[in-house]
Structure 1
Amino acid sequence: MARVKLTAGRIADFGCGEGRTQTFLWCDEVHGLGVRATAGSKRKRYIFQTKVNGRSMRLTIGEVSIWSIDKAQVEARRLQVLIDNGNDPRQMKADKKAAEDEARLAKETAAVSLMMQKTRESVTLGVAWSEYIAARAPFWSQLHHRDHIRAMHAGGEKRSRSPKLTEPGALASLATVRLIDLSPELLTEWAKREATKRPTVARLALRLLRAFLFWCSRHKTHKTIVTGNVAQSRDARESLGKSTVKNDVLQREQLPAWFAAVKQIKNPVINAYLQALLLTGARRNELASIRWDDVNFQWNSLTIKDKVDGLRVIPLTPYAANLLAALPRRSEWVFSSLTAGSGRLTDPSIAHRKACTVAGLDVTLHGLRRSFASLCEWIEMPSGIAAQIQGHAPQGVREQNYIRRPLDLLRKWHVKIEAWILEQAEIDFVPAQPGLQVVRNT
């Protein structure tokens, strides 16, 4: 290849020969440096050509309009030095680009990670609580789901039957607190405030919060923030105090007054519900949520959704069957309601408290369940039978693994306790015939 001294004039006059795709003008001062002109283009470039590991290599240095001859010669010498030292400029260029790309990617990743961390740290208890409810609601009972909604309810809404607005839930004051800011000290202050107003509700809210924070510690996003469970704070628990065992129960001699007062309730659904609650010993929401499909008047059985076993079947005793048969069938619910949004009875507590006031008694709805268990002692009902009727978990190896009582055996004792309670309440009741019952005196 002919070599010439590169000058501005020669480079300017240099062009691609006719009939060629490209032509080179080689420098006589720096080996491998040249100028390349291509057909159909006015652009000319400095190039460097040599051999690396026995194979030809050609690199483009840059446009002649940008690079001076001196700078192109310096760059060519630099490339030659690299090659002489055993380096491949192409690989070095690729490595440099890869390093730059990696550095840029790392910078972008760090920026995204920082943004995501800030986003995670900005999550409030209220927002995460809504996520928690949505994720866990399919595994909860209706009552448990309601407790979570109420705990975080903002309050301030109109009541359907009262001019007063609804009160905020026990955890509502913490709704705007970021998860990252939750601390034992903050929770203790919350507990001290709530203890002066509603310690029982606050104790439930604290238990719900503790379960929620355990869920957060396993959540793909929140686990980087919630690394400990502040709801296990001993100070918070002590501030709320311990729940006391309630002893409200109907005594044998109080049954006439209680039944007389309850029977005066004008709402037939509430009237029947309260009597059935005592006579079945069921939990208040278990009984309120039974449907007509759960009642079998032919075989005198009642299917109840049980929080322990899912479902339990108990006898439908004669007087209880008479109460249910007299109720209006205006929906799927046995204890229906025309005003409740759910279509069924939701809060009979007000009517029951009024009836107890009339009777001079102080018994809660759960106290009726406690009353059933206590009154069973009068007829010496086996404790395992009473527990099975009420839906208590079997106690002991024998109850859990060996005893399987048929419905008829439960009915024998359940009918007996119902008859005894009615006798003590001075209610003269005689079943007319199987499947139909009549109340003689009310």
Structure 2
Amino acid sequence: MPTVPSRARLTAARVEAFACPPGKSQAFLWDTDAPALAVRATPTGRKTYTFESRLHGKTLRLSIGDVRAWTLAAARAEATRLTLLVDSGTDPREQKRQHEAEQAAQAAALAAQAVTVGEAWAAYLADRRPHWGERHYSDHEALARAGGQSAVRGTRGRGVTVAGPLHPLMSQPLRELTTPAIEAWAQREGRTRPTVARLAWRLLRAFLAWCSEHPDYRAAVPERNPAKSRRAREALGKPQAKDDALLKEQLPGWFAAVQAIRNPAQSAYLQGLLLVGARPGELLGLRWDDMNTQWRGLTIRDKVEGERVIPLTPYVWHLLAGLPRRGQYVFAGEDGDKPMSKPHKAHASACAVAAIDGLTLHGLRRSFGTLSEWLELPAGVVAQIQGHKPSATAEKHYRVRPLDLLRLHHERLEAWILEQAGVQFDAAQQPGKLRAVGG
């Protein structure tokens, strides 16, 4: 077999005829016109154009490409380009990595430009759900939910649900969620439902902060959070402090009207709100398993701390024990699988009978704290029962009140409220056999 030269002027014919000699793992045929260019052949018959030079005292070898994909002229041009880079001290491999990184960044930017607010919002909820409570997660879902669903309750006579304040933004491209767009949204929502829109705005602001840190979405949002706008905040207005609460003198009329409600679960729920001091949603989600009759405790699922245990006071115990068991929830709905709806209408009707204006369900929780001042109960005790965060260093680090100590104060407050309301109640009677009437 004739000896194959190691260097020759490459031609299409020579490239075609070049082969790896038997017994060798590879062979090179170097070009005389472009000295850094060679054809590399392997025993399998594969042939590629190869570049070789020296950079910073070390051999640098790069594959240009398969001879079937590259013409000889194109391979010589590429070898020349790589030679110029090496002669200038530039590593072609590093340049390639930078180029690929730039291409990837451009592709990510293009993808981010196309993503909608709804797509990013769904990713945001999936990412943050392990760190949120159920109430916080459901708020995000409800505020972005589409309307138009048939419903019997909670629609104020419309018969269909109303879209959440964030829903109009969900179909927009994320890149178009600019400060002017958010300000225009705040103007619209602030005119009709400012309270829920303020919550939506706070959630939107946190969402955009998350987008600015996420590699898939940061290219679509500006560095400065577009929701942090003075005009948007002003358009939504300031929340008005609520002051609705029962006066001591109103207790007899309120109890008489609420006890006259024909639905026992609604009646017990409203009385429980006043006597337990829980948030309306917390008490509504009470399960039978949350009642510990041995140690007379109630486990309240707290939106702040996760859960808290408060005393199961005698009157509340009798109220709850007298309710029928229709599933896991104490205040069960008709099907028993979910809690009943909040009895806003029933309470409003009772308040009208008692000539009490503007008292909300949350106002009953506020009444618990207000009425406790008549007995000068320790503020920390009331805060612990209601699930408020401690407001002082001593409360945070040096006050750990057991259930029995809370019960001492809580039962005293319950007895005083019932006395002021004229409710005759024997705490010694069997739970569930309650016979209480307004005086």
Which TM-score applies when normalising by structure 2? 0.78
1:174 to 155, 169, 172: 169
User: In structure 1, how many angstroms separate the alpha carbons of the residues matched to 2:213 and 2:341?
Assistant: 35
1:394 to 390, 415, 428: 390
- Displacement, 1:375? 0.3
Are residue 61 (structure 1) and residue 11 (structure 2) matched? yes
When residues 81 and 338 of structure 1 are mapped into structure 2, their CA distance, relative to the original with a 3 A threshold, is closer
- Residue 140 of structure 2 is matched in structure 1 by 148
When residues 111 and 324 of structure 1 are mapped into structure 2, their CA distance, relative to the original with a 3 A threshold, is same
Are residue 134 (structure 1) and residue 130 (structure 2) matched? no
User: In structure 1, how many angstroms separate the alpha carbons of the residues matched to 2:348 and 2:103?
Assistant: 61
Pairing of 1:2-401 with structure 2 (within 5 A)? 22=1, 49=5, 56-57=6-7, 61-63=11-13, 80=32, 87-90=35-38, 94-95=50-51, 98=64, 99=78, 114-161=106-153, 164-226=159-221, 227-339=223-335, 343-361=338-356, 362-401=358-397
When residues 88 and 346 of structure 1 are mapped into structure 2, their CA distance, relative to the original with a 3 A threshold, is same
Residue pair 1:158, 1:166 contacting (<8 A) in 2 also: yes
Residue pair 1:300, 1:435 contacting (<8 A) in 2 also: no
| Per-residue deviation, residues 295-324 of structure 1 (Å, max 9, x unmatched) | 012221111122233221111111100000
Structure 1 unaligned spans of 5+ = 1-21, 25-46, 50-55, 68-77
Range 313-322 or range 431-440, more displaced: 431-440
- Displacement, 1:80? 4.8
SS at match of 2:11: strand
SS at match of 2:213: coil
Higher gyration radius (CA): 1
Residue pair 2:147, 2:160 contacting (<8 A) in 1 also: yes
- Displacement, 1:265? 2.0
- Displacement, 1:114? 4.0
- Displacement, 1:138? 2.6
When residues 375 and 178 of structure 1 are mapped into structure 2, their CA distance, relative to the original with a 3 A threshold, is same
- Displacement, 1:232? 1.0
| Per-residue deviation, residues 368-389 of structure 1 (Å, max 9, x unmatched) | 1100000001112121111111
| Per-residue deviation, residues 43-89 of structure 1 (Å, max 9, x unmatched) | xxxx8x3xxxxxx546763339x99xxxxxxxxxx95566xxxx454
Residue pair 2:321, 2:431 contacting (<8 A) in 1 also: no
Residue pair 2:320, 2:432 contacting (<8 A) in 1 also: no
Higher relative contact order (CA 8 A, sep 6+): 2
Residue pair 1:430, 1:437 contacting (<8 A) in 2 also: no
Residue pair 1:247, 1:367 contacting (<8 A) in 2 also: yes
User: In structure 2, how many angstroms separate the alpha carbons of the residues matched to 1:307 and 1:436?
Assistant: 29
| Per-residue deviation, residues 259-287 of structure 1 (Å, max 9, x unmatched) | 12222222221111111010000111111
| Per-residue deviation, residues 298-351 of structure 1 (Å, max 9, x unmatched) | 2211111222332211111111000000111121111111258x5112422232
When residues 437 and 377 of structure 1 are mapped into structure 2, their CA distance, relative to the original with a 3 A threshold, is farther
Aligned length: 377
Residue pair 1:432, 1:438 contacting (<8 A) in 2 also: no
CA RMSD of aligned residues (A): 3.0
SS at match of 1:432: coil
Residue pair 2:322, 2:431 contacting (<8 A) in 1 also: no
Q: What letter matches 1:211 in structure 2?
A: A
Percent identity, aligned pairs only, is 44
Residue pair 2:9, 2:33 contacting (<8 A) in 1 also: no
- Residue 25 of structure 2 is matched in structure 1 by none
- Residue 53 of structure 1 is matched in structure 2 by none
- Residue 441 of structure 1 is matched in structure 2 by 437
Q: What letter matches 2:117 in structure 1?
A: L
SS at match of 1:441: coil
SS at match of 1:310: coil
Structure 2 unaligned spans of 5+ = 18-29, 41-48, 52-61, 65-77, 80-91
